[in-house]
Amino acid sequence: MILKVPEEKQTLSGRESVRFLSQYAREAVIASAQKSGIGFSVFEKDDDGVPMPSNGIFWSLSHKPEYVAGVISDARIGIDIEPIRPVQSSLINRILDNDEQQVTGMVSDELFYRCWTGKEVVLKATGAGLKGLSHCKLHRIIDYKTLVISCRKKYWMIEQFYFDNHVASIVRAKKNVQWDLPVSGKEM
């Protein structure tokens, strides 16, 4: 579930912004649960801040100034959203090694954020956090909305969705993903 942040809340800054966006993203998780017909309201985290499943239900959220996202699943899950904006080559080189850049060919801003959000959702699903980034590698780009990330000898299928100059990524388990958001998605 992707929710647009009300315009009056997009101007918040600092802790006030983080607090609001975090809570609003939890509302997106609850909306995802309701859409799936699952009761969910427990947002527990372990000592490292990794979301813990509740009654076998995993959850993940993401927030940016304009949008928040939340999802639940009976399998490990991760969701991330990013606005597509210009990226410097130094950041590309830090996130994508030479082999990964060979897979992608020329790295556009859009492709960079596809790869970044793909890695991010795997790190969320595994609970590794950013400290596990060096273990996540772009394995294959299947098409404009699907890629494969490898992490510690396991392969993760990532489904992606484009809207309002943003990309959203989610770990695609064995289930179909139904994107639900307040604006119609646009293919880029």
The CATH number assigned to the domain holding 168 equals 3.90.470.20
| Same-domain status, 122 and 151 | yes
Specify whether 63 is located in the same domain as 21. Answer: yes
Higher pLDDT pick, 103 / 92: 92
- Both 88 and 114 in one domain: the answer is yes
Q: Is the pLDDT confidence value at 186 over 50?
A: no
pLDDT band, very low/low/confident/very high, at 30 (cuts 50, 70, 90): very high
Domain count, the chain: 2
Range of the domain at 22: 1-74
The single residue listed with the structure tokens 């890695």 is 119
State mean pLDDT over 165-182: 76
- Read off the pLDDT of each residue in 30-36 and give the average, rounded to a whole number: 92
pLDDT confidence of 172, banded at 50, 70, 90?
confident
Residue 2 and residue 60 in one domain = yes
Q: Which two tokens stand for residue 104?
A: 């992608």
Q: Is residue 182 part of a domain?
A: no
**Residue from 81, 76, 80, 79 nearest 173 by CA:** 76
Please indicate, yes or no, whether residues 163 and 119 belong to a single structural domain of this protein.
Answer: yes
Residue 75, helix vs strand vs coil: coil
Q: What percent of the chain is predicted at pLDDT more than 70?
A: 91
Q: Is residue 67 part of a domain?
A: yes
Give domain status of residue 187, yes or no: no
Distance CA 51, CA 59 (A): 7
Whole-angstrom CA distances from 105 to 98, 111, 140, 146, 151 are 10, 10, 12, 16, 21
